[in-house]
Amino acid sequence: MKFKVNDSCISCGMCAGSCPEVFHMADSGMAEAIPDDVAPEVEESAIDAMNNCPAGAIEEA
């Protein structure tokens, strides 16, 4: 499973704070997801970050 952050990102950092194995804040201030498949042991955490994103900016890639 892969994730991506779309242009709706409001730079709140919730995803990077809750699942830093998958999401980080880029130099632009916007969140980014790793380009690789998410490791099975963090998949649930990444899904939680996606479901709890206040802007709905995270989606499956």
| Count of domains for the chain | 1
**What's the whole-model pTM score?**
0.94
Q: Are 5 and 45 in contact (CB under 8 A)?
A: no
User: Using one digit for the tens of pLDDT, what is the confidence trace for 11-58?
Assistant: 999 999 999 999 999 999 999 999 999 999 999 999 999 999 999 999
Q: Which domain holds residue 13?
A: 3-60
CATH number at residue 41: 3.30.70.20
